[in-house]
Amino acid sequence: MSDHTTPAGATAPTGRAWWAPTMGRMTVRARIATAILAAALVVVTVVVWNSPAVSTLVGAEDAPPTAEELRLARENEELQQALWSAEGLNESMQKSQAKAQTERQAQREAQEAAEAQAAADRSAAERAATDAQAKADTSRRTSTSTKDTSSRSSGRSGSGAGAARNAAATAPVAETGPTLPSAPSKAELLSPATRYYGMYTEQAPFNWATFDDTATQVGRLPSMVGYFGGWDQGFRPDAVVRAWERGMLPLLTWESRPLTAANDQVDDPQFSLPVILAGSYDEYLRQYARDIKALGLPLAIRLNHEMNGTWYPWSEVDGKGQSINGNSLGDYVKVWQRVHAIFEQEGANDQVIWVWSPNIVNNLPSSKQSLEALAGLYPGDGFVDWVGVSGYYRPPYKDGQVPTFEYTFDRSLDQLRRLSDKPILLTEVGASEIGNSKPQWVDSFFAGLAAPENADIIGFSWFNLAVSTWAGGELLTNDWRVDSRRDSLDAFVTGIATPAARIGGLPLNSPTS
Cis status, amide bond into 379, omega within 30 of 0: no
> Radius of gyration of the chain from Cα atoms?
49
Angle subtended at Cα 139 by Cα 135 and Cα 145, rounded to the nearest 5 degrees: 115
φ, ψ for residue 479 (rounded to 5)?
-95, 100
Terminal-residue alpha carbon distance, the chain: 114
Judged by phi (left if over 0) then psi (alpha if -120 to 50, else beta), residue 321 lies in: left
Query: Which of the 8 DSSP states describes residue 323?
Result: B
Pairing of strands 249-255, 220-221: unpaired
489's enclosing H/E stretch is helix 486-496
Closest alpha carbon to 325 in 260, 368, 269: 269
Strands 506-507 vs 299-303: parallel, antiparallel or unpaired: unpaired
Report the SS3 class of residue 173: coil
In DSSP notation, 244-294 reads HHTT-EEEEEEESS-TTS-TT----GGG-HHHHHTTTTHHHHHHHHHHHHH
Strand blocks (E) in 89-187: none
Residue 431, beta-bridge partner list = 393
At a CB cut-off of 8 Å and minimum separation 6, what does 286 contact? 139, 342, 345, 346
Catalytic residues: 306, 428
User: The dihedral of CA 249, 505, 307, 418: what is its sign?
Assistant: positive
The beta strands (E) that lie in 47-169 are given as none
Q: How far is CA 471 from CA 17, 153, 394, 480, in A?
A: 147, 7, 10, 15
Question: C-alpha 31: how far from its chain's center?
Answer: 120
